Amino acid sequence: MTRTTWILTDGKKGTENQCLGLASLLGLKPIIKTITPRFPWCFLPPSFWFSPLKGITGLEENEPWPDILIAASRSGAPVAKEIRRLSEGKTFTIFLQNPYIDPKNFDVVIAPQHDQLRGPNVISFLFPFHGVTSKVLRDAHKKFDKLLGHLSSKKVAVLLGGKTRHYTMTPDMMELYGIQLRHIAKRHPMGYMVTSSRRTDQKCFEAFKRGLGSAPRFIWDGTGENPYMGFLAHADVILVTADSVSMISEAVSTGKPVYLLKLKGRSKRLDAFHRSLLEKGCVRFFQGKLEDWTYILSDDTASMREKIEALGFKNAAH
């Protein structure tokens, strides 16, 4: 009998994709639940929610609790804690990321190494889960070959994030990056594949395109199917803004050279993440030139599953 699985997040695509990646690793077929805080909960930190299930939308009344719950995001933590309590522990609850409440409220907590979270049920990881695999890349290369294959003998993917609590993106900065890449393309055959995210300020995006000028390029304008995986598959080099752990992790998982585009601001957590990748030789900060290099990443997904099983996880196959 198949055990029911929920994914519970605030709906942010990067967070949801991490949960889907974990579900795939565990052989689960999840139902996605997106929760949104109601008034006045939306103005309070999740740790202050005195009745988490009444404070959110996205869950149906009288719906049976799942056998397995994979939750993430700050708003997801108190809700997942409450579901585990109401199910009397029958819902095996995995929290992905730092819950910012006691890890004992969950069966398993899988947190980034740079959060330095400790506990008997805490598993640390360097990269968040994602859907970028060698098979996915092979399929995407074939799928988007007509769109991207002709662009240049050397292709560079440019993945733009945007403003966060810790980082600020400015038009001047983005125009300068565009100018630098345009000058590189004048010296060497180079084609750029550019995409933005929901957090990318439009003025910054326009400034980057202005700086890039007439350099060979394909810029996804948001219409049609998102070629993001095609960009990763076809790229020889990848540039990604330093604000996004998920995009950086997806870029590094390709094994290709990855350059980080600095933004204004800093974050202790992300600084630690960047340092760990710099030490492993996976990334470099962009300084106006593009080079090729190689690195080897160990695949620890098998050991991750073993660690989760050691903490009591069992799926339908067991």
Helices 171-187 + 202-212 axis angle, to 10: 20
Q: Which residues pair with 37 in a beta bridge?
A: 56
Which amino acid would we find at residue 18? Q
Q: How far apart are CA 202 and CA 219, in angstroms?
A: 14
pLDDT at 200: 94
The set of residues, in sequence order, having a beta carbon less than 8 Å from that of 127 and lying 6+ positions away, is 249, 252, 253
Q: Are strands 191-195 and 217-219 parallel, antiparallel or unpaired?
A: parallel
Q: Which residues pair with 32 in a beta bridge?
A: 7
- Length of the chain equals 318
Q: Which residues pair with 240 in a beta bridge?
A: 159, 260
Mean pLDDT of 286-293: 96
pLDDT at 209: 97
What are the angstrom distances between the C-alpha of 63 and each of 6, 66, 93, 161?
A: 12, 9, 17, 37
Q: Are strands 68-72 and 5-9 parallel, antiparallel or unpaired?
A: parallel
Nearest to 280 by CA among 301, 296, 258: 296
DSSP string across 18-78: HHHHHHHHTT--PEEEE-EEPTTGGGS-GGG-SSTTTTEES--TTPPPPSEEEEESTTHHH
pLDDT at 222: 86
Mean pLDDT of 92-99: 95
| pLDDT class of 317 with cuts at 50, 70, 90 | very low
Q: How far apart are CA 305 and CA 307, in angstroms?
A: 5
CB 69 within 8 A of CB 84: yes
Query: pTM of the prediction?
Result: 0.81
Q: 134-285 adopts what CATH topology?
A: Rossmann fold (3.40.50)
pLDDT at 202: 95
pLDDT at 44: 85
pLDDT tens-digit profile of 153-209? 999 999 999 999 899 999 999 999 999 999 999 999 999 999 999 899 999 999 999
pLDDT tens-digit profile of 213-272? 999 999 998 888 899 999 999 999 999 999 988 899 999 999 999 999 999 998 988 999
| CATH of range 5-125+300-310; options 3.40.1000, 1.10.10, 2.40.160, 3.40.50 | 3.40.50
The three-state secondary structure class of 9 is strand
Dihedral through CA 144, CA 139, CA 290, CA 149, nearest 10?
-30
The ranges assigned to domains in the chain are 5-125+300-310, 134-285
Mean pLDDT of 34-48: 86
pLDDT at 318: 39
Q: How far apart are CA 126 and CA 249, in angstroms?
A: 9
5-125+300-310 and 134-285 agree in CATH topology: yes
The three-state secondary structure class of 174 is helix
pLDDT at 184: 97
